[in-house]
Amino acid sequence: MDRSTSKAMSGTPVGRRSMLALAGLPLLLAGCGTVGTNPLTRGGRSASDIRVATYLTPSYKDLFPGIEMFVDTAAKADGVSVDLYDSGTLLNAAQTMPGLIQGVADVVVQTSSYVSTSYPILGVYELPFVNEGFEQIRRALAYDSPLSRLINETLRPRGLISLGSMTTTPEWLFTVDRPIEKPEDVRGLRIRTAGQVEGEMVKALGGSPVSMSSAELYEALERGTIDGMVSYMGTVISRDLQKVLKYGTEAHFGDYSVDAYANVDWYDSLPSTTREALHRAGKKLTEKGTDHQVAVHEDKYRGIIENSGVQLLTLDAQQIATFRKATAPVLEWWKQKVDDPELVEKALKLVRSA
């Protein structure tokens, strides 16, 4: 295969180089705070031979097309070659960011809920009831927006740069046995969460956050190992969870993004034409990728959930105010995690004024 031509490969089997890189991940994880690879000689590949990794699978029909848009757009540039390793074939969800920092992949596509634990600035738009919801979060995270630039200013010294973000539709509270209409309804429930911000939100409401992969959710809900989950619609449909869930409460319990991150040393070493190709790809991910996701949710996923028998509950203004007050401790927790009052205020202002 001629690697000097532009191409995009989805679900590519992991080759010998990839296996060697993965074999060293336990050692790489220990040093994930610093960039330790030569960006120009990464496994013998040229700077414009781009390896993209994601744990997301094609079953995420709302998100995966955005990833394909990113890859296809980057691969259109002259001299740029792109290999896409999806479904965790190169790096699983837990390995993604350490693998990026250490050069196993050049670009990774990852959900912010996995990243904000180590890079808490991202939590500013994951916070529950932080503003009026999805559309405002999307405006805040628009391509090359002031918030996006502020986030990159914060990430860059730690070896990362975000190339673009798909904002997901809001996370709702889904349960099996009990509808959630007021904060007290969460008390005592075991709720699956996908990140620290979600976990703090559940704790603020009196529940117990449980961490598990989305692949485990169906059985856990069916057996009663957990009582519910914080999730956007895409996880429900991609895992067929509408068959075991009974209730869903529509409110801005959280939000996250699906982002394309690059190793900053590698990125800085690229020819300007390759960097421009990556930014065009990031813009496509941010804009058209999000457009596709929203259309899938509105035109298909919501109907599937409703027709499955899941009762969707909409909160009124007074109920929302009650939940906002109950989850206020999450904001204070996040401020302490960031530990930079000036940065906190800048980020919050950009999220709330978008």
pLDDT of residue 260: 98
E-strand stretches of 63-180:
81-85, 107-111, 160-167, 171-175
Kindly calculate the radius of gyration of the chain based on its CA atoms and give it in whole angstroms: 20
Element (H, E) at 265: helix 264-269
Residue owning tokens 């990031």: 282
pLDDT of residue 45: 58
Q: Give the whole-angstrom CA distance, residue 138 versus residue 287.
A: 9
* Mean pLDDT computed over 218-243: 96
For 86-134, write each residue's pLDDT tens digit: 999 999 988 999 999 999 999 999 999 889 999 999 999 999 999 999 9
Q: Give the whole-angstrom CA distance, residue 94 versus residue 89.
A: 13
- What residues does each domain of the chain span? 16-119+145-168+257-298, 171-255+300-353
Q: The pTM is what?
A: 0.85
pLDDT of residue 350: 98
Domains 16-119+145-168+257-298 and 171-255+300-353 alike in fold: yes
Q: To the nearest whole number, what is the mean pLDDT of the chain? A: 88
Please indicate whether residue 6 or residue 214 has the higher confidence score (pLDDT): 214
Q: How confident is the model at residue 49 (pLDDT cuts 50, 70, 90)?
A: confident
* Mean pLDDT computed over 29-50: 51
Q: Give the whole-angstrom CA distance, residue 56 versus residue 96.
A: 11
CATH of the domain spanning 171-255+300-353: 3.40.190.170
Sheet holding 49-54, edge to edge: 81-85, 49-54, 107-111, 257-263, 160-167
Maximum Cα–Cα distance across the chain: 62
pLDDT of residue 5: 35
pLDDT of residue 47: 61
Structural tokens at position 299: 């035109």
pLDDT at 240 over 90: yes
Angle at CA 139, nearest 5°, toward 260 and 95?
20
HSE-up of residue 239 (Cα within 13 Å, Cβ side): 21
Structural tokens at position 78: 């002259």
For 283-325, write each residue's pLDDT tens digit: 999 999 999 999 999 999 999 999 999 999 999 999 999 999 9
* One CATH from 2.40.10.340, 3.50.50.60, 1.10.540.10, 3.40.190.170 for 16-119+145-168+257-298: 3.40.190.170
Helices (H), 31-144: 64-75, 96-101, 112-115, 134-140
Q: What percent of the chain has pLDDT over 70?
A: 87
pLDDT at 17 over 80: no
Which residue from 330, 310, 315 is spatially nearest to 207, judged by alpha carbons? 330
Which residue from 234, 289, 274, 303 is spatially nearest to 77, judged by alpha carbons? 274
Q: How confident is the model at residue 214 (pLDDT cuts 50, 70, 90)?
A: confident
